[in-house]
Structure 1
């Protein structure tokens, strides 16, 4: 069975009848989290909302002003999942989200064109494809694709677009001899009805259930973004078609203008300017690390030279790392002094180090770890790790001071 969306891919509104409406659940992903939605599965007499299939995502739209969350195919039926019930026998107007639909049409027809010419020009067979939200990917059965081949393919597909080549749909019975002559990766097990063929005149004939443009000129343009290494000696070809190319160009231009403002150079000099900045940053980081090491030594010596230093030393510094803390601990006589060091945001995440007499560190280390909500371990008079929050650092310091005073009292 061919749905109305397959008979006329350009139809944006359609009046039909509700055949059934049953309570249902849908596992749905929202902002990366899987949720189970409760709603209703609705069957219509016919539909202009395409159910997911053939590598193409489903359409979004409305049924009598009720948003359609998902459309799937079950044999010859299209199942529309909605949040609110619809009355069986009710005549309803169906509207398709045209921007999403036309985008899918452009990407899908673009894939057919690229697949056909990659095969004709280089013998590269398509093994799968993915119509993504921002870019589409064709998996080619070849371990590599040379830059000249990539350029040649892009020029060829855009030449066909400029030639206004018609794209037509044929419906053939499954036993029609013509079916054997078209490209296909096989039919789904629950397929029913005639075979649908997408014919790009003089270029390609391919079994497909998806929605397509009626003329290659409606693709506007195809841009090949490049290739990536695929799985098992395959190559992933990344492309944009139609309006996605225009949006990509607009976004790239906005980025370019922002870079001009930040770097104070023209677009042709951006790479060189960023390269200089990276080298400057690396040099500054190296200098900063050297200064931090020198500072760590001075901090430790200043404490050691203090005649009233006591048996406890504590320091927090926003800038620093594990090396900074370990240098301080190494310069202080931790056999006699308990050292508590932290680096990071005042009440945010950071690093900590507890060093001192082995017995005190073994006893206090797990408690410090708990107070700082961190992860870490210790041995031989050192306990260090990551702190998820330094908000209770002051309380930890007070407790350690009291511990040191208690130790001093016992010794006296």
Structure 2
């Protein structure tokens, strides 16, 4: 059986009667948290509120003055979840949230059009789709879609919209030979009654339970935002249809105004200014790093108890090299690291060539890293700095042993 919402997708108000009303619960998500709402499941004689199905979310609306929070399908029945009970047998007026409904109609008809032309132009089959709150996604059975193909597809789609192609709905019996010629991903197990066919004239005929526009011109425009890598060697095609394109453009413009403080015609100038500022900041930062490194090494050199081992764990790769350059590594063994205490990072071992060449591989092993050395320096990446203390102790012991040998 087809519901009134499927027979006339443009009907906004409808009078019907309550068939049943029984207590029920609805699992609901609010701000990422799951809640269970107590309410009632209501069956109506007929409905203009679409129950979710075919990739399309359900409608919202009112039964009388009672908000409908969810509509689902159970076999041939539509189940409306409401917060207040309704009297069985009473006549009620049903109203649909038209803005939500028309948005769903635009996205769903848009999906049919994109799917048909992606198949016609490139042989890319649609394996699933999702009508999201802000954007919709079509899963195509191909590992990639080239930019030129994406552009050609978008042009073909919007050309069909511009020439006002009609969209019609027909009901066929399941044994009608015409059913064999239409596109379908299969019927649900509990399907009953005639087969509903949505026909975009000359473009596509497809089994579908959803609500659709009556002419492609009502889609206004479709924008293909791009693609993402999908599951199992497939590609997700992201799109907006109709009013969503207008809202996206408005939001993008508002964002630009905030970012550029209304100076939308000065993008290039502002971009260059930002790059120059970043360059100046980088130069200033490097200068400060050098000053700090010089100060640290001077304090070390002026310390009469300094010994012949220096260790530090801060800064970045540039900072490590500045430190090593400032300290006389012909006399002092230097061990520097950058990174989280127990996470990955960088290391640098500098000092007398022979000693660094001997100890470098052992340090590399303890830090579970990769690296190489020459000319008195051994450096690389550490998978884990968790044993940094052990490395320090090993190097200090080596320095003491070396000093005692010299004495």
Common fold, TM-score beyond 0.5? Answer: yes
CA gap 1:86/1:262 in 2 versus in 1, 3 angstroms = same
CA gap 1:279/1:210 in 2 versus in 1, 3 angstroms = farther
**1:258 match: secondary structure:** helix
Q: Indicate yes or no: 2:314 matched with 1:323.
A: yes
Match for residue 349 of structure 1?
A: none
RMSD: 3.1
| Structure 1 contact 259–270 (Cα < 8 Å) conserved | no
Instruction: Kindly state the Cα deviation for residue 251 of structure 1 after the two structures are TM-superposed.
Output: 1.1
Counterparts of 1:68 and 1:104, CA distance in 2: 17
Alignment of 1:278-357 (within 5 A): 278-280=278-280, 282-283=282-283, 286=286, 323=314
CA gap 1:195/1:253 in 2 versus in 1, 3 angstroms = same
Instruction: Kindly state the Cα deviation for residue 259 of structure 1 after the two structures are TM-superposed.
Output: 2.7
Match for residue 330 of structure 2?
A: none
Instruction: Kindly state the Cα deviation for residue 278 of structure 1 after the two structures are TM-superposed.
Output: 4.8
1:47-91: per-residue Cα shift (whole Å, max 9, x none)? Answer: 111111101111111111111111111111111111111111121
Counterparts of 1:27 and 1:281, CA distance in 2: 52
Match for residue 42 of structure 1?
A: 42
CA gap 1:285/1:95 in 2 versus in 1, 3 angstroms = farther
Instruction: Kindly state the Cα deviation for residue 258 of structure 1 after the two structures are TM-superposed.
Output: 2.2
Match for residue 338 of structure 2?
A: none
Counterparts of 1:283 and 1:66, CA distance in 2: 65
Counterparts of 1:23 and 1:12, CA distance in 2: 27
Match for residue 4 of structure 2?
A: 4
Instruction: Kindly state the Cα deviation for residue 275 of structure 1 after the two structures are TM-superposed.
Output: 4.5
Listed as ranges, the gaps of 5+ residues in structure 1 are 306-321, 328-376, 382-412
| Structure 1 contact 142–233 (Cα < 8 Å) conserved | yes
Q: Indicate yes or no: 2:116 matched with 1:116.
A: yes
CA gap 1:29/1:293 in 2 versus in 1, 3 angstroms = farther
Instruction: Kindly state the Cα deviation for residue 260 of structure 1 after the two structures are TM-superposed.
Output: 2.6
**1:266 match: secondary structure:** helix
| Structure 2 contact 136–238 (Cα < 8 Å) conserved | yes
Q: How many residues align?
A: 318
Alignment of 1:161-172 (within 5 A): 161-172=161-172
| Structure 1 contact 263–273 (Cα < 8 Å) conserved | no
CA gap 1:285/1:72 in 2 versus in 1, 3 angstroms = farther
Instruction: Kindly state the Cα deviation for residue 291 of structure 1 after the two structures are TM-superposed.
Output: 5.9
Counterparts of 1:204 and 1:15, CA distance in 2: 34
Counterparts of 1:296 and 1:87, CA distance in 2: 83
| Structure 2 contact 256–264 (Cα < 8 Å) conserved | no
Match for residue 345 of structure 1?
A: none
Listed as ranges, the gaps of 5+ residues in structure 2 are 305-312, 321-385, 391-407
Counterparts of 1:247 and 1:199, CA distance in 2: 28
**2:261 match: secondary structure:** helix
Match for residue 228 of structure 1?
A: 228
CA gap 1:278/1:214 in 2 versus in 1, 3 angstroms = farther
CA gap 1:264/1:144 in 2 versus in 1, 3 angstroms = closer
Counterparts of 2:289 and 2:20, CA distance in 1: 70
Counterparts of 2:175 and 2:135, CA distance in 1: 37
**1:192 match: secondary structure:** coil
| Structure 1 contact 40–84 (Cα < 8 Å) conserved | yes
Q: Indicate yes or no: 2:257 matched with 1:257.
A: yes
Query: Would you identify which runs of 4 or more consecutive aligned residues in structure 1 move more than 3 Å?
Result: 262-265, 267-298, 377-381
Q: TM-score under structure 2 normalisation? A: 0.71
| Structure 2 contact 257–264 (Cα < 8 Å) conserved | no
Instruction: Kindly state the Cα deviation for residue 92 of structure 1 after the two structures are TM-superposed.
Output: 1.1
CA gap 1:124/1:378 in 2 versus in 1, 3 angstroms = closer
Match for residue 366 of structure 1?
A: none
CA gap 1:99/1:264 in 2 versus in 1, 3 angstroms = closer
Alignment of 1:391-410 (within 5 A): none
